[in-house]
A = this chain, B = another copy of it.
Amino acid sequence: MTHTKISDSAVRRLSIYLRLLHDLSDQGAVLVSSRELAERAGATSAQVRKDLSLFGSFGKRGRGYSVAELAATLEEILGLRRHWRVALVGVGKIGTALLGYQDLSRRGFEVVAAFDTATGKVGGRQFGVRISPLAELKTIVRERGVEIGIIATPPEAAQNVAQRLAEAGVTAILNFAPVKLDVPEEVSLKTMDVAMELEGLSFQLAAGQRDEQTTGNGTGSGAG
């Protein structure tokens, strides 16, 4: 069942569809068409059907998709019908915010360990999770069978932490530090970078202002 290669953007859309299906389910909908799903997701119906067809055919011609079945299928595909064990490294502002973000455990991502270097934090607890010294990372990660690591350290420390996580057997990393990380091929890495997103917005704003100066009209360049 190895799927040749599913693009990142396709996977992201599957997440979106799944959320919409949950909404629809709450609203009591039983069936949904690719057209309706597409409208809500901001995509085209062909896109929805193509995305789903990468994994099988789940709909009924003439009727659409069963909301409940499709949701279950997407959960299966996305690996969400189980719990994942998460380790958080770096309990600063972002790290603390993540620890308190109940939505994560509700969605099946359970933070089972947290690490920091600050002696003032180590030994304490945040939202029920004990904070351990970084030196114990490998042992604890292995003991607790952690699958996903979250890096919320200062940028200077991030590469080292990534390596430690990989060595401890973690094969998926979510990185909040604004640096490029090198990880072994078998490790999946995603980086979330607030500053970079803001710079993207800044680019759009600046482009809009450049346009205004040269064309004299006030319509910006949407990227909604």
The interface of chain A, by Cβ under 8 A from chain B, is 1-3, 6, 8, 11-12, 14-16, 18-19, 40-42, 77-80, 84, 86, 93-94, 96-98, 100-101, 103-104, 107-109, 147-148, 171-174, 178-190, 192, 194-211, 214-215, 219-224
Contact = CB atoms under 8 A, between A and B. Distances in A.
A197 B205 contact: no
Contacts of A210: 1-2
Given A2-B215, A214-B1, A180 B42 contact: yes
A179 to B, nearest CB: 8
A177 B101 CA distance: 12
Nearest to A220: B186
Contacts of A204: 172, 188
A184 B224 contact: yes
Contacts of A77: 203, 206
Contact of A198 (B97, B109, B181): B109
Contacts of A148: 198, 201-202, 205
Contacts of A220: 171, 186-188
A1 B101 CA distance: 44
A165 B190 CA distance: 29
18 contacts: A1-B210, A2-B215, A8-B200, A11-B199, A19-B178, A84-B202, A84-B205, A93-B97, A103-B178, A107-B198, A109-B198, A148-B205, A171-B208, A172-B202, A174-B194, A188-B204, A189-B223, A190-B223
Contact of A96 (B12, B80, B97): B97
A38 to B, nearest CB: 12
Contact of A203 (B11, B16, B199, B224): B11
Contacts of A2: 207, 210-211, 214-215
Contact of A197 (B183, B190, B211): B190
Nearest to A185: B222
A12 to B, nearest CB: 6
